[in-house]
Structure 1
């Protein structure tokens, strides 16, 4: 049997009450979960940067090693050629040896230059690593403190939150899928998390725009689900307390008039 409009609205009000309590729990946590997540991402970035710097450092050291090996080979070849230069038989052989010695000398200078450049780069990279590690340590301390704070808050609220989530799951089953989807969409898009609101003092309890008297009468009858024409929130009822206050005010005015007469 399909639920009446009144039953549907009551189920939505119950769900809204549960969601509002969950919102309050999230308010207690504040921005801590996001701050922790941001710090974790920042620290991961620093670790990635350090790894990259260390890989570059290793490459520079390998470059130095390779050029030192090349210089050793050049020196051995130079020593050999200088020895052979003493036994040349003609000017052609002498010139050929001199040309090769000259090329080996230039190759040695190039390798020495590459070694100097690599050493300078290593110093700069080690300084970058040191600074990054320092920033990493500072952010890690911030993260540790935030995690402790968040853990304390979670330990205080997780039992209540788990209970509310179970209640929410149970309450959601009592609402037809189409209506539940509409409720969730409105709630997610609203700034205060309210999708179901009453009429208070003649205005929408969500956006505070005036609700026409005829529409208020329709809301009271609960023959159909009515939404606010301004914010789209579901209108659950018109607060009776307000009506009683109006009646009391009217009675007081009547009494005053009678006394004046």
Structure 2
């Protein structure tokens, strides 16, 4: 910890600007990926949801087909009972027994008609389910193809950038250790509050980098003196002079070409 307090303001400014250049490079890499990881994740969820729907539709189809089997079995049982009751009518002792058997036969015939009606309804449901399954299958195939394409795009970008990103994150952590914790926290706070993530910027044409607000000549001289850390009163960004910025950019460009 003692070593951190011994470094000069200029060294702190250089380390902060180097950290900014590294983090900005990581931002660029992530911007190249853009929304692709989220898009792939959404597509994966959509495909998983459609697969679940397909499983449910197929399970429903199985239930309906089993219902048809049950109804067909019921019809066969009714036919057997009708045959049995008809045969029994030949051996009745009185009209009461004959009428009772007739009612049983009539009941079984009604049961058969009802079963046939249900079978017809079930077959219509099967046709409807099969149509929905076919449509879902087509949509699923299209989404799977789209997912495969997007995953391929993402894999390609990751293959190109992942190694560099990991190396840069390590460098970022290394540079953070060179700067006192208070400054690192301030840097991160500013970085999170500005749209483009630029917390440390050079003075460009007499104004804060990326800003239109002019910096008074006296303040510009203080920035060039590198004796204290100066922030832009409008954006809160830490300011460095153009010469220091150029030197550090050249140094960092050499580092970036090594980690690619």
Identify whether the pair has TM-score above 0.5, normalized to the shorter chain: yes
Aligned to 1:84: 88
Q: How does 1:121-200 map to 2 (within 5 A)?
A: 121-177=125-181, 179-200=183-204
| Structure 1 position 90, deviation (Å) | 2.6
* Unaligned segments of structure 2, at least 5 residues: 245-260
Higher alpha-carbon deviation: 50-59 or 35-44: 35-44
Q: Residues 90 and 135 of structure 1: is their aligned pair in 2 closer, same or farther, counting only changes over 3 Å?
A: same
1:236 aligns with 2:212: no
| Structure 1 position 20, deviation (Å) | 0.6
Q: Residues 68 and 174 of structure 1: is their aligned pair in 2 closer, same or farther, counting only changes over 3 Å?
A: farther
Q: Residues 101 and 154 of structure 1: is their aligned pair in 2 closer, same or farther, counting only changes over 3 Å?
A: same
**RMSD (Å) for aligned C-alpha atoms:** 3.0
| Whole-Å separation in 2 of the counterparts to 1:110 and 1:178 | 83
**SS of corresponding position for 1:236:** strand
1:94 aligns with 2:98: yes
TM-score, normalised via structure 1 length? 0.75
| Whole-Å separation in 2 of the counterparts to 1:70 and 1:227 | 88
Pick one of 23, 48, 53 that aligns with 1:19: 23
TM-score, normalised via structure 2 length? 0.75
Aligned to 2:112: 108
Higher alpha-carbon deviation: 217-226 or 130-139: 217-226
Q: Is the 8 A contact 1:219 1:235 kept in 2?
A: no
Q: Is the 8 A contact 1:227 1:234 kept in 2?
A: yes
Q: Deviations over 1:63-115 (max 9, x none)?
A: 11222222222222222122222222233323322333333222222222222
| Whole-Å separation in 2 of the counterparts to 1:75 and 1:182 | 89
Q: Is the 8 A contact 1:199 1:211 kept in 2?
A: no
Which structure carries more relative contact order (alpha carbon 8 Å, separation 6+)?
2
**SS of corresponding position for 1:44:** helix
Q: Is the 8 A contact 2:200 2:240 kept in 1?
A: no
Aligned length: 239
| Whole-Å separation in 2 of the counterparts to 1:46 and 1:87 | 62
Q: Residues 154 and 90 of structure 1: is their aligned pair in 2 closer, same or farther, counting only changes over 3 Å?
A: same
| Structure 1 position 183, deviation (Å) | 3.5
1:51 aligns with 2:20: no
| Whole-Å separation in 1 of the counterparts to 2:65 and 2:183 | 67
Q: Residues 129 and 27 of structure 1: is their aligned pair in 2 closer, same or farther, counting only changes over 3 Å?
A: same
Q: Residues 8 and 240 of structure 1: is their aligned pair in 2 closer, same or farther, counting only changes over 3 Å?
A: closer
Q: Deviations over 1:4-35 (max 9, x none)?
A: 65554443322211111111122333433333
Q: Residues 164 and 91 of structure 1: is their aligned pair in 2 closer, same or farther, counting only changes over 3 Å?
A: same
| Whole-Å separation in 2 of the counterparts to 1:163 and 1:53 | 48
